[in-house]
Structures are given as structure tokens and as C-alpha cells.
């Protein structure tokens, strides 16, 4: 420990004011504070002691909550590959293949994102913020394994520069950064992120009768063709693929980290137990989605509208979005009542977009981005109500 401290101490003069690398001080500080929690003490006035938490630990807690989704996602990439190509494979094969596809995406996301963050810190001379630690992991998890790496790089750059830094950096952004990256890809390169992209093939051919469609794609086509969605799904080439249980566990095609509702719920449990994620938002997204599903069941009309409401909760990215995206404290509503409204509306809009607008089968991304924009408005009215209470109190 002394030895590492000495390395930093030897480097220190170069980064100080007037030193050769003065401009890169934020970088030096960023690295040093990652290795050692800093030796800063409280001011002589104000609190003399501080809580042991800091933003690094807070962000790491979120990353830890994502690990179940990540590991399951890696395995599932391999699993989907081997069943789609009809090759027998062991558990290890599946994990290895998944890792081979997923790790490069993570590396690209972190490298590009952190490089931009560091560059901006050096330009603006402000300390390195930890927000990207979470974003860098979220971006890979909401992409298909088959995504070209250069697209990951471009999307990351777009999201960090336009989605975050243009607004003033961590804590100031209006839109969720990872979803900005995904939305960018969705509209700029739709052919790599919609349609039959969810299963990775490599150079192998799919088995006879293969279809890579997701539940939501089944729904959209059933609604368009007037067929029975549940019957279509039951006739899937791989027996039992879209049973409710299968979808809950997550052994279905989809973005890397989003398929398993179970893993998302484990993540939710971690976030809620540690107090980092708002249970109000997470719960109300599920509630909104379910109630909207029920409402559509009542209305009926086609088989997608009549899909059992609980299927909405386990299909697509609803669970992942609810747990890891909607609960992002920077872009969510910041008042407690607002969190209920915000989450509920995300759930409602997700199902509305899914079912009513066949052009965008994945509703959660757009629903969250939409509500990100509205979160400040929700807060505004709630805070105004607080001010009004104070005013009426004064006149009594």
C-alpha cells in the first residue's frame, strides 16, 4: 500500500499547478481516488463527520445489482445460439460463446465512454464523475449480441456527448444516457437492432423452421394478420419457447441483459435493499404495465390486445427498464409522489406503444425517454403544491 502511494506521490508534482502535465490533473486525481479513497477531511465549519457513502460506492452498488442480468445474459447468448443452430453444447460452451460476444461490447462501451469523459474532464478541468461506471454497463445490456462493435462505439459517443455532456455532465442530463444510446441506434441503424437480430449465428446456419421473432413481434404480426397470437407462439419452432415460465426465467431471444425477469427482480431486490433504487418507481412501472394490459384485455379486438396482462411484465425490456433505467435518480422524478406518477405512466405508455403502435414493438425505451422529459414537469406541479400549502398556511 505504501509502495503504491509512493508511486502516486512521485507522479504528483508533474500534475500540480505549474507541472508538466498540469492539464491532466483530473485524470491523475481520478485514478488515484479509485485506488485510494482520498484523504480529504471536513471543513472547520459545517459537519465535522461525513457518512461513509460516496458516489463511487453508490454507482458500484448499481453495477453489482446488474451482475445477475449480465451473467445470465452471457449464458443466454450462447444458449440461444446453440438451440438455433441445432448444435449440442455444454453449459460452459454457452457461457464461453456468450462471453466472447458480450465482453467486447462491454469493453468498447467503457473504452469509448470513459475516453470521452476523461477528455471532457481535462478540457473543462473538473473532476471525473462516476456516473459513467453505470452507463457503461447499461449500454451493452440493452443491445443485441449481434450488434456491430462500431455501432456500439458511435452510439456511446453520441449518448455521452449529446445526451449528457451537452447538458452539463453527470447529474444534469435530462434523458437516461444508456437509453439515448439505444434510441440513437434504433433510429440511425434500425436494421441491426430490430427484426431478426436477437440471436447470434456467427457463420452457422439456423435450424429448419427457425424464427428469431420475440413475443412482441409475434404480437404485432398477429394483430396485423388477424391470427391468434397465443396459438402462433405455441407453434414456435422450439417447443415451449414462449411459455410464461420460460419468459420469466429469460431463456428467450432478446437484448443481452433484458430477457430474464427473474434476474431483473434479483437486481431490484439489491437496489431496494440498499436503498439506492426507488421501490416506488420500480413497483409502479410494473403496476402501470399490468393495469394497462388488463384494460386492453377488457377492450379486446385482436389477439395482441387480448394477450394475458401478466405476459407484458415478462416480455421485452419492461422488467429491465423498470429496475435499471426508470429508477435512474437523475432523470426520474425527484419527489416521492412524482415517483409514483412517473413510474406508473412508464408502465402504461410501454404497453400502449407495444400494442397500439406496431412500428415500435419495444415500448419501454420510448416510454422511459418520454417520461424522462416529463419528470421535471411532474415535479414542478408537486413542488408548486408544496409552496401553495405554505402560502395558505400563512393566511389562516
Partner 1 sequence: MSKTIKLKKGFDINLVGKPQEKIIESKQPETYAIKPTDFVGISRPKLLVKEGDSVKAGSPVLFDKFTEQVKYCAPVSGKVVEIKRGEKRKLLEVKILADKSVEYVKHKKYSTSDISKLSKEDAFEQMSAGGVWPNVIQRPYGIVADPESEPKAIFISAFDTHPLAPNTAFILQDQGAHFQAGLDILKKFTSGKIHLNIKGGDEVAQIFSQAKGVEINKFMGPHPSGNVGTQIHHLDPINKGDIAWTVSPYGVAQIGKLFTEGIYDASKIVALTGSQVTDPAYVKTYSGANAGNLLDGHLKSGPSRIISGNVLTGEAVGKEGFLGFYDQQFTVIPEGDYEELLGWILPSTNKLSFHKAFGLLGFLNPKKEYVVDTNTHGEERAFVMSGAFEKVMPMDIYPTFLFKAIMAEDYDEMEGLGIYELVEEDVALCEFIDVSKHPLQTILRSGLNLLKES
Question: Cβ closer to partner 1: 249 or 330?
Answer: 330
Decide if residue 203 touches partner 1 (CB under 8 A): no
Question: Cβ closer to partner 1: 17 or 45?
Answer: 45
Residues 17, 18, 40, 209: which binds partner 1 (CB under 8 A)?
A: 40
Decide if residue 266 touches partner 1 (CB under 8 A): no
Backbone dihedral angles phi then psi of residue 332, each to the nearest 5 degrees: -85, 175
Site string for partner 1, 321-350 (x = CB under 8 A): --------xx-x-xxx--x-----------
Q: What is the largest CA-CA distance in the chain?
A: 77
Calculate the alpha carbon distances from 357 to 5, 140, 305 in Å. 58, 26, 12
Task: Kindly state the smallest distance separating residue 386's Cβ from partner 1, in Å.
Answer: 6
Contact set for partner 1, span 102-161 (CB under 8 A): 127, 129-131
Task: Kindly state the smallest distance separating residue 175's Cβ from partner 1, in Å.
Answer: 15
Buried b vs exposed e over 339-378: b needs ≥16 C-beta within 10 Å? bbbbbbbbbbbbbbbbbeebeebbbbbbbbbbbbebbeeb
Q: Which stretch binds partner 1 (CB under 8 A): 156-164, 195-203, 255-263, 378-386?
A: 378-386
Residues 19, 24, 56, 294: which binds partner 1 (CB under 8 A)?
A: 56
Give the C-alpha separation, 206 to 199, whole Å: 10
What nine digits make up the cell of 158? 453520441
Decide if residue 38 touches partner 1 (CB under 8 A): yes
Question: Cβ closer to partner 1: 359 or 394?
Answer: 394
Decide if residue 169 touches partner 1 (CB under 8 A): yes
Q: Which stretch binds partner 1 (CB under 8 A): 19-27, 45-53, 139-147, 191-199?
A: 45-53
Give the C-alpha separation, 117 to 169, whole Å: 9
Spell out the residues 6+ positions from residue 282 whose beta carbon is closer than 8 angstroms to its own: 268, 271, 272, 322, 323, 326, 327, 343
Residues 275, 298, 356, 357: which binds partner 1 (CB under 8 A)?
A: 275
Residue that the C-alpha cell 469509448 belongs to:
112
Decide if residue 393 touches partner 1 (CB under 8 A): yes
Decide if residue 49 touches partner 1 (CB under 8 A): yes
Decide if residue 60 touches partner 1 (CB under 8 A): yes
Give the C-alpha separation, 123 to 137, whole Å: 25
Task: Kindly state the smallest distance separating residue 13's Cβ from partner 1, in Å.
Answer: 17
Decide if residue 55 touches partner 1 (CB under 8 A): yes
Buried b vs exposed e over 165-181: b needs ≥16 C-beta within 10 Å? beeebbeebebbbbbbb
Closest CA to 81 of 145, 125, 140, 127: 145
Residues that bind partner 1 (CB under 8 A): 1, 4-5, 33-58, 60-61, 64, 127, 129-131, 169-172, 273-276, 278, 329-330, 332, 334-336, 339, 379, 383, 386-387, 389-391, 393-394
Amino acid at each position: 500500500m505504501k509502495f503504491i502511494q509512493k508511486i502516486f506521490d512521485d507522479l504528483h508534482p508533474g500534475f500540480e499547478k505549474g507541472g508538466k502535465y498540469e492539464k491532466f490533473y483530473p485524470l491523475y486525481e481520478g485514478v488515484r481516488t479509485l485506488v485510494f479513497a482520498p484523504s480529504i477531511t471536513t471543513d472547520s465549519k459545517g459537519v465535522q463527520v461525513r457518512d461513509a457513502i460516496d458516489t463511487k460506492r453508490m454507482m458500484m452498488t448499481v453495477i453489482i445489482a446488474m451482475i445477475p442480468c449480465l451473467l445470465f445474459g452471457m449464458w443466454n447468448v450462447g444458449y440461444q445460439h446453440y438451440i438455433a443452430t441445432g448444435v449440442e453444447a455444454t453449459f460452459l460452451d454457452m457461457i464461453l460463446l456468450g462471453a466472447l460476444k458480450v465482453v467486447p461490447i462491454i469493453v468498447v462501451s467503457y473504452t469509448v465512454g470513459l475516453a470521452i469523459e476523461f477528455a471532457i474532464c481535462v478540457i473543462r478541468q473538473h473532476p471525473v464523475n462516476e456516473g459513467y461506471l453505470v452507463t457503461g454497463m447499461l449500454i451493452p445490456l440493452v443491445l443485441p449480441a449481434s450488434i456491430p462493435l462500431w455501432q456500439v462505439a458511435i452510439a456511446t459517443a453520441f449518448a455521452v456527448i449529446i445526451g449528457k455532456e451537452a447538458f452539463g455532465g453527470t447529474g444534469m442530463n435530462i434523458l437516461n444516457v444508456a437509453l439515448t444510446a439505444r434510441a440513437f441506434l434504433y433510429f440511425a441503424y434500425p436494421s441491426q437492432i430490430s427484426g431478426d437480430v436477437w440471436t447470434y449465428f456467427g457463420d452457422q446456419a439456423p435450424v429448419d423452421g427457425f424464427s428469431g421473432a420475440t413475443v412482441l413481434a409475434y404480437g404485432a404480426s398477429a394483430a396485423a394478420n388477424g391470427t391468434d397470437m397465443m396459438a402462433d407462439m405455441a407453434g414456435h419452432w422450439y417447443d415451449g419457447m414462449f411459455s410464461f415460465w420460460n419468459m420469466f426465467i429469460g431463456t428467450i431471444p432478446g437484448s443481452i441483459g433484458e430477457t430474464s425477469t427473474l434476474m431483473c427482480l434479483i437486481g431490484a431486490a439489491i437496489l431496494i435493499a440498499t436503498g439506492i433504487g426507488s421501490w416506488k418507481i420500480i413497483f409502479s412501472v410494473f403496476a402501470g404495465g399490468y393495469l394497462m394490459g388488463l384494460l386492453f384485455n377488457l377492450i379486446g379486438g385482436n389477439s395482441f390486445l387480448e394477450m394475458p396482462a401478466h405476459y407484458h411484465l415478462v416480455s421485452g425490456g419492461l422488467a429491465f427498464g423498470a429496475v435499471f433505467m426508470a429508477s435512474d435518480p437523475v432523470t426520474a422524478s425527484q419527489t416521492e409522489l412524482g415517483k409514483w406518477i412517473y413510474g406508473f405512466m412508464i408502465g402504461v405508455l410501454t404497453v400502449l406503444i407495444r400494442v397500439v403502435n406496431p412500428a415500435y414493438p419495444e415500448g419501454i425505451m420510448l416510454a422511459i425517454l418520454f417520461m424522462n422529459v416529463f419528470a421535471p414537469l411532474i415535479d414542478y406541479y408537486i413542488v408548486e403544491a408544496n409552496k401553495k400549502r405554505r402560502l395558505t398556511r400563512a393566511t389562516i
